[in-house]
Amino acid sequence: MAIPVIDFSKLEGPERAETMVAIAAGFEDVGFFQLVNTGIPDELLERVKKVCSDCYKVREQGFKDSNPAVKALADLVEKEGEGLAPRKIENMDWEDVFTLQDDLPWPSNPPAFRETMMEYRKELRKLAEKLLGVMEELLGLEEGHIRKAFTNDGDLEPFYGTKVSHYPPCPRPDLIDGLRAHTDAGGLILLFQDDRVGGLQAQLPNDRWVDVQPLENAIVINTGDQIEVITIILPLLIYYYRTSAVD
């Protein structure tokens, strides 16, 4: 079974019913699907790729010098050279990651990073709210039901976090994963993955792992643990995913 790819723009045309069915199947059957033609401008997505790539070029040496996973792997390789059989690192990820929040410092390089990512976050929020509306319609819930569940009936502002992750080339991917198998604790996860280098995988109901194929300017949709709790009548929404550490 492949991860479904759905043209989100068809919700606005004569193929709306078929598109709703496809989205429902994506939520229920796999818990992962990809959206194309989301309404987020391609020009913006290209800028996001560039500023994130440039940002990690600035951070590259810091990752090599101070990331705990780099040191742990180097220690393992050194012991292997001394004749000891290395054991795979199970408690760390080969990942350079930071989170963007309005009340925390943001990277200052490249100069266009903050402006671009603020614009991107705004577009992602609009897409997320559209998807929640689709989910409510599919479940037969009143409009705004899921949003109210996340905001204590409107008393709180929902949390929209943005995590920026990079998986540098790993010299020994047999000894550490880029990202260990896990589920996400949040509600609805929207992922803009690298469209040239794969690695993201999702676990199907039969426990088989499948690749989430990189597609240009597609947004990967993954339902988190909180959505499973809120929409308990859809207990098969949540599946594990992982990212391999590849050269």
Mapping DSSP onto H, E and C, the string for 103-135 reads CCCCCCCCCCHHHHHHHHHHHHHHHHHHHHHHH
- What's the confidence (pLDDT) of residue 67? 93
- What's the confidence (pLDDT) of residue 1? 65
Element containing residue 229 per DSSP (H, E): helix 225-230
Q: Could you check whether the bond before residue 110 is cis, i.e. omega within 30 degrees of 0?
A: yes
Longest Cα–Cα distance in the chain = 67
The two structure tokens encoding residue 218:
């597609």
CA angle 14, 18, 20 (to 5 degrees): 105
Contact assessment for residue 213 and residue 226, using Cβ atoms and an 8 Å cutoff: no
* Domain extent for 93: 5-243
For residue 154, give the CATH number of its domain. 2.60.120.330
- What's the confidence (pLDDT) of residue 244? 55
Split into its structural domains, the chain has a count of 1
The two structure tokens encoding residue 43:
């020009």
Find, among 107, 94, 103, the residue nearest to 170 by Cα.
94
- What's the confidence (pLDDT) of residue 11? 94
Distance CA 193, CA 15 (A): 27
- What's the confidence (pLDDT) of residue 239? 39
Strand duo 5-7 + 32-36: pairing: parallel
Residues of the chain short of pLDDT 50, as ranges, are 233-242, 247
- Reduced to 3 states (helix: H, G, I; strand: E, B; else coil), residue 241 is strand
Tens of pLDDT, residues 97-147: 999 988 888 999 999 999 999 999 999 999 999 999 998 888 888 888 888
Task: Give the sign of the dihedral formed by CA 77, CA 78, CA 79, CA 84.
Answer: positive
- What's the confidence (pLDDT) of residue 231? 66
- What's the confidence (pLDDT) of residue 43? 98
